Amino acid sequence: MSGVPNINVAESVEDLKSLLKQQVTSLNFAKVQSLYLLKIKEVETVRHLAVLIGRSERTIHRWLSCYREGGIENLLSEPEKLGRPKKISVEEAALIQNELKDPEGFQSYKEIHFWVSIILEIPASYITVYRLVRNELQAKLKVARPQNLKQLPGEVKIFQNNLSEQLQALLEKESEKVSQYLKVRFWCQDESRFGCHTIVRDKITIKGIKPLGNFQYNFQYLVTV
């Protein structure tokens, strides 16, 4: 790839200088400049030419191949290769972003890629999905908060809202027993748990969304208040 190029530049040095002045794009200027440097024997190898031009050796070889096939016209008419087009549209990215807002989350980037391929039917590569999710949408692995499988949606919020009233009702019910003690200013709780529970790995959700992990608890509790 980096050896001596086998090419005969038909244009004269003066013609190449004139062509350099006529180019309006940096791409075509670099192509003509490559021929010029070869013509005046400023470079002897493709590697040296690639370094001076600031292009890869593969690109230089492609340019020289175009020149051999059709001359300077064919070389300058070759369009610039911009790489593979992005296969995930803005609308599709929005669907992925919306799914990542679900606290259930995903357990891995491979699972996200599988979901994109099967559910959304987008034939994107794994690395394309990974870069979108990790870099653009900034969705990363986070520690999942435990949630019992038997827990109903909103049950924790209801408990928090009603806790004060329930404690007050308990004090009123047991007022005779409590009256002999000092006024209750705060509650202390201690809890011991014995048993096993499901191990849930970290999950991927979008920035600002805390993931939830469904745990199968099987504990015996010893609670004192």
Whether the predicted pLDDT of 221 surpasses 60: no
Q: What percent of the chain has pLDDT over 90?
A: 9
The whole-angstrom separation of Cα 225 and Cα 213 is 28
Q: What angle do CA 77, 83, 84 make, to 5 degrees?
A: 125
Find the range with the poorest average confidence among 59-63, 110-114, 121-125.
Answer: 121-125
pLDDT of residue 145: 65
- Going by C-alpha positions, the residue among 99, 135, 133, 139 that lies closest to residue 119 is 99
The answer to whether residue 166 is domain-embedded is no
Query: Residue 85 pLDDT more than 60?
Result: no
Final residue before a domain boundary, out of 46, 74, 102: 74
If one counts the domains in the chain, the total is: 2
104 and 32 co-located in one domain = no
pLDDT at 219 over 70: no
Burial 140-154 (b: 16+ CB within 10 A, else e): ebeebeebeeeeeee
Q: Which two tokens stand for residue 214?
A: 């469904």
pLDDT band at 15 (very low <50, low <70, confident <90, very high): very high
Domain containing residue 125:
85-151+181-217
**Is there a domain that residue 110 lies in?**
yes
Which pLDDT band, with edges at 50, 70 and 90, does 16 fall under?
very high
Q: For 156-180, what is each residue's pLDDT tens digit?
A: 678 778 878 877 787 777 776 666 6
